[in-house]
Structure 1
Amino acid sequence: MTKQQAPCGTWTSPISAAVVAAGATPLASLTLDGASLYWLEGRASEAGRSTLVSSAGELTPAPFNVRSKVHEYGGGAYAVAGGVAWFSNHADGRLYRVQPGGEPGALTLDNAHRYADFVVDAGRGRLVTVREDHSAGGHYPVNTIAAIGADGLETVLVDGNDFYAAPRISPDGRHLAWLCWDHPRMPWEGTELWLADILDNGSLANGRLVAGGPQESICQPEWSPGGLLHFVSDRSGWWNLYRYDHGVVHALCPRAAEFGGPHWNFGGSLYGFRSEDEIVCAYIEDGVSKLARLRGGELTEIATPYEEIRELRVNSEAVALLGGAPTVAPELARIDLDAGTHEVPARSINMLPPAGDLSVPRSINYPSANGRTAYAFHYPPTNADFAPLAGELPPLIVIGHGGPTGMATSTLKLSTQFWTSRGFAVLDVNYGGSTGFGRAYRDLLKGQWGVVDVEDCVAGARYLSEQGLADPERLLVRGSSAGGLTTLSALAFHDLFKAGACYYGVSDLAGLDADSHKFESHYNQYLIAPPERADSVYRERSPIHHTDKLDRPMIFFQGLDDMVVPPQQSETMVEALRARKLPVAYITLEGEGHGFRKAESVVRTLEAELVFYLRVFGLPVPAGLPAVDIENLPA
């Protein structure tokens, strides 16, 4: 069939903003209870509510919202044992208990505490959890590891550190392992793994440091069925698997690959035990995930259709994962390793758009500043019915991911296909500082946030332009959160991009320090500069102090309930652009925090961003799209 030629950006697409909002059900937080699989599903149609489900159905009906606010990013919001589930309810922060076929009942007594990453201490009839205490009303809460009895009575087990994670009880119930770290470190900089004995009365004794320190990041401690403590450490420069055995740490599979990830959320898992001698694990090489069996020191790859494995749960009865690929949206898979088969209990998208409208990315690397190599996924514009005008090169959207210790993946995302199916090319950049390429690559951003990330995005856009894959006069940059700073800095300090979109992005680093929550309150010491140099470097790097260098149109999106990057960060920038009579649009969303969960918010922001680009490039706006107030933009 001959395709219709039309200007890139104006193509008619079956992937509407409504399809993006309603077509993907967020899936997260897998748990195995014997052979039974549990997970969380996000309900965009219910204001982003997260509910606990299993193959038997939903356990937490509305209005319950299974979500933790510990560290603001949460995760680890529920636990299941013997069919009984305990969960954190977002609205009040309290813990609830629900039995099969029953109604949830409150376990904790007040809402002054938040809970995450809890584990069932069956022998003592209690939960062990990371607790965040807000009762004192100070600037920062107090973090501990606590036990919660069946009567709701709480007992602090471990305190004194700024942060805790991953309390894990040994199979015999006699030992507790946990992670901790202190300001100014983030957990991917340096953590400590501790181990203590659990006494008959439930208290701890003989606490000792097992591994870790200021320069070693440890994640996911787990006990083998036989009671040996395992963990992931980056002491070699890569997050690899280790075993602690009678005071000695053994490397299980030295490899230039990542068997773990940064602790932004609680409850992450990329390995587990089928038996005492067999580990099933996921690892990342060159930005692509693989599933493998580790036995006797030998790593054997297990074939799957997935190029990204976000979570993995393993026990003697089952292997389950959350995976995706360029043509596979995130889905839950249960894998039978003996039979070599797998089933899919849940898909984030049940009905995919036609294959002819899906852009399949290619992984690229390219030269960047100071001799660095940067990595990215390039998505060419793709539509079954449309092609560019003769000789036309597509506009390019460069995406700087959030985190900034995050990672761009190739998993099918309707939000990306929304753009490519309309004639935009997309470059999703894994700039220096991204996860998945080892600690040395991750540390490229140390003291260089707003520099290295920006240079790698600029270099990527320039590389595709030089390759004849993008129109050098229609280069766009967009990003959210930390990627918002990348976007703003790219526009303020470089003249390559023609316009940008900033989602709840950072514009004033000093303001971010002043308003930040506890978890990230010292993060800028790693990303930017230590306190003695902060003032001058912050001013040099903060786009808000360089609005005189901005002369390109911008659109801003901001949740009014955002506690991570407060609205003031966007508002100050918008006011500065207004004062300079630059084209600017500002869209706020009530009831949204850091990241937009409501279906109507997703629709509103995507459509507004599309209209913004079309008007900036002087292209016709298709009927049915909303009007967008772009101040100072000539007709």
Structure 2
Amino acid sequence: MRRTRFGWKAALATGVAMAIQGCGGATGGAGAGGAATAAYGTWASPLGADALAAGAVSISDLRVAGGALYWRENRPGEGGRQLVMRRDAQGEVAPATPEAFYVRSRVHEYGGASYVVLDDAIVFSHFADQRLYLQRHGAAAVPLTPPGYQYADCVLDPARPRLICVREDHTEATLAANGEERNEIVAVALPEGDAVREDAGTVLVTGSDFVAYPRPSPDGGQLAWIAWDHPDMPWDRTALSVAPLTGDELGTPRRIAGTDRTAPLEPQWDADGTLYFLDDPDGWWNLYRWRDGQVSAVAPMQRELGGALWQQGASTYALTGDGRAIARTSLEAQDTLGTIDLATGAWRPFDLPFVAYSDVRLLDAGTAVAVASAADDDAALIAVDLADGSHRVLHRASRSPLPQAWVSRGEAIRFPTAPGPDGAARDAHAFFYPPHNPEAVAPADEKPPLLVMIHGGPTSVSRPTLALARQFWTTRGFAVVDVNYGGSTTFGRAYRERLDGQWGVVDVQDAVAAVDHLVATGRVDPARVAIRGGSAGGYTTLAALAFTDRFRAGANYYGVSDIAALAATSHKFERNYDVSLIGEPDEALYRARSPLYHLDGFGEPLITFQGAEDRIVPPAQSRAIVDAVRAKGVPVAYLEFEGEQHGFRRAENIVRAAEAELYFYGRVFGFVPAGDIAPVAIDNLAP
């Protein structure tokens, strides 16, 4: 993948020349339609970095109970606190959990499904101590479980006064005996009066490395769940099992689905005792059922239901109770919501103005609710009429300050990439966002700088939703390409498995191919191409800088620099993820894929951002690569934020990171961004 190097000094000189040609930077002569002529990157934008923090308020973990809607909301302006909100039948919205509590589970580190709504109370996981708390309406929250455990995806047992939950046992005795925490399904007793007795839970399911989706049948007589073991991830191989449930005793489990090549997910019981679930024996997560001891496909299609289970409790379909299911299906990073006839398998998509959906739930017999995102508007909580597919917006957690006339909309692009192991031609996918600002125009002879975005996971996906984190750049004169490299979901299992054993190869090849495509079609400046990504995307960023010469700068957000160090410090959920991504532990192989050991090819400027409390990619990973490239004489900047974990949740840090990255590109590419931006110390870069 090595290319002729066009070093940062040459890129800087080119950028300066272009800024001079562009009438001296941020101001200049009149362009078409009265817009001011200004060099790319210097355009004044109405979207400040503070808007990124305000726009980071999000809706997740949607629930329905007693005709009211509940969801979890992230508040960057409150230090990243997450709380449960409630919308009643009259449309009134108010917090449902106390101000002093932070509702977030750390099961698998990524959490999810961190609360459950009961008739007269909410039970939630408090981030600070990971205990479950019982919050009765109008009363103080009290602990329901003792310290030392973490809980997620709790559901009410319909036959007994208790919750059935996924539990991680982090007690000293378990860690000493196992060497790692133990994941189990437990029953946690609910108090029948005012007195609350702390209960860690009675173990129902044990013996697997991981468990998820505990789902009791409507009569409480059976329990379904999924499980998997190291080194698999839940999109590789899982097992769906069912067992009789009597009191605290679980009968002999029966494996319903799951083979060496399938990953069943999302079991749901229908009122008649039929168990529905998602499975992918044909290479696509589709809807299946288990009835009368037999498994059968409900609606085979080359579209994905479900997705990579990074967080507990994801819900992409709901049974309507009248012989249908409402489901989100995905293809090539774009979602459709519609109904599936459970008898015939007929799929009826709704014509809705959204490109992404999550948290699909049933509100009542004729109405579904979901979190929906559009290409040009903020994410919203919507209600959908199941009869005619019409919708209404119930709530938005935030409103974008960016007028629609300023929005750059994603264009799906498909382009040739490196051939497969058998030599067969292959394509990869991305969304391209051209620079767009109705009040600015670039000089006719200038092409825009390109920012290549790499999503995390790496088994994740970038959808063409309105993301202020992209519009921050396009309104300033950057082109953005968001790459769904091999390994991304919504393209089927075969595309997802391209990354198996090839992390740091296929993802980098696809990122390079995206740039090649855009350069060949004349849409971007080949001398001003930067790459950025977080977590797994940060690793791809570092690998692209170390192993290729296509990129002129990079922004690494808490990315992996040393595969062996990652394997040595990774938390349980990802402890063996490197086996599927790289291969069986081998010193030579791991060093070959680690950017830290390939500094000879690392000559382009790098800025790195890191959370000081990150347990997933510890700060040592970022400090090591920064120290190494600094010693080599490469321009480098480093910002580490106290109080942040894996991903930044505090408003002040979100703002600082965005502005620092913009300042960095301005220095490297030779332009002066509009606005008042605090400088960043960049070592090895002349003033």
Shorter-chain TM-score tier: over 0.9
Secondary structure at the residue paired with 2:527? coil
Q: TM-score, normalised by structure 2?
A: 0.90
CA, structure 1 residues 299+78, in 2 after alignment: closer, same or farther (shift >3 Å)? same
Q: Quote how far apart the aligned CAs of 1:204 are.
A: 0.8
Q: Quote how far apart the aligned CAs of 1:452 are.
A: 0.2
Q: How does 1:59-458 map to 2 (within 5 A)?
A: 59-108=96-145, 110-136=146-172, 137-138=175-176, 139-150=179-190, 151-153=197-199, 154-199=201-246, 201-295=247-341, 296=343, 297-314=345-362, 316-317=364-365, 318-338=367-387, 340-370=389-419, 371-458=425-512
Q: How does 1:16-31 map to 2 (within 5 A)?
A: 16-31=48-63
**Percentage identity across aligned positions?**
45
Q: How does 1:459-498 map to 2 (within 5 A)?
A: 459-498=513-552
Q: C-alpha distance in 2, partners of 1:247/1:471?
A: 60
One-letter amino acid matched to 2:596: I
Deviations 1:480-536 (A, max 9, x none): 0000111011111110110000000000000000010000000011000113xx211
Residues 24 and 348 in structure 1, CA contact (< 8 A), matched pair in contact too: no
Residues 605 and 634 in structure 2, CA contact (< 8 A), matched pair in contact too: yes
Q: C-alpha distance in 1, partners of 2:369/2:550?
A: 45
Q: C-alpha distance in 1, partners of 2:298/2:66?
A: 26
Residues 159 and 219 in structure 2, CA contact (< 8 A), matched pair in contact too: no
Residues 10 and 423 in structure 1, CA contact (< 8 A), matched pair in contact too: yes
Residues 43 and 673 in structure 2, CA contact (< 8 A), matched pair in contact too: no
Residue 548, structure 1, aligned to residue 600, structure 2? yes
One-letter amino acid matched to 2:337: L
Secondary structure at the residue paired with 2:265? strand
Q: Quote how far apart the aligned CAs of 1:63 are.
A: 1.7
- Structure 2: give runs of 5+ residues left out of the alignment: 1-32, 89-93, 191-196, 420-424
Q: C-alpha distance in 2, partners of 1:20/1:556?
A: 19
Q: C-alpha distance in 1, partners of 2:352/2:377?
A: 12
Q: C-alpha distance in 2, partners of 1:616/1:240?
A: 47
Q: C-alpha distance in 2, partners of 1:634/1:116?
A: 51
Secondary structure at the residue paired with 1:123? coil
Residues 361 and 370 in structure 2, CA contact (< 8 A), matched pair in contact too: yes
Q: Quote how far apart the aligned CAs of 1:259 are.
A: 0.7
Q: TM-score, normalised by structure 1?
A: 0.98
Q: C-alpha distance in 2, partners of 1:530/1:218?
A: 25
Moved more, 500-509 or 283-292: 283-292
Q: C-alpha distance in 2, partners of 1:34/1:262?
A: 30
Q: How many aligned residue pairs are there?
A: 631
Deviations 1:122-174 (A, max 9, x none): 42100100000010244410111111112333211111110000000111111
Secondary structure at the residue paired with 1:124? coil
Greater RCO, 1 or 2 (C-alpha within 8 Å, sep 6+): 2
Secondary structure at the residue paired with 2:180? coil
Q: Quote how far apart the aligned CAs of 1:349 are.
A: 2.8
Q: CA RMSD in A?
A: 1.3
Q: C-alpha distance in 2, partners of 1:390/1:577?
A: 37
Task: Report the structure number with the largest CA radius of gyration.
Answer: 2
Match of 1:560 in 2: 612
Q: Quote how far apart the aligned CAs of 1:310 are.
A: 2.2
Q: Which runs of at least 4 in structure 1 moved beyond 3 Å after TM superposition?
A: 315-318, 338-341
One-letter amino acid matched to 1:232: L
Q: C-alpha distance in 1, partners of 2:483/2:55?
A: 25
Q: Quote how far apart the aligned CAs of 1:286 are.
A: 2.2
Q: How does 1:506-525 map to 2 (within 5 A)?
A: 506-525=560-579
Residues 635 and 685 in structure 2, CA contact (< 8 A), matched pair in contact too: yes
Residue 41, structure 1, aligned to residue 73, structure 2? yes
Q: C-alpha distance in 1, partners of 2:431/2:359?
A: 21
Residues 9 and 614 in structure 1, CA contact (< 8 A), matched pair in contact too: yes
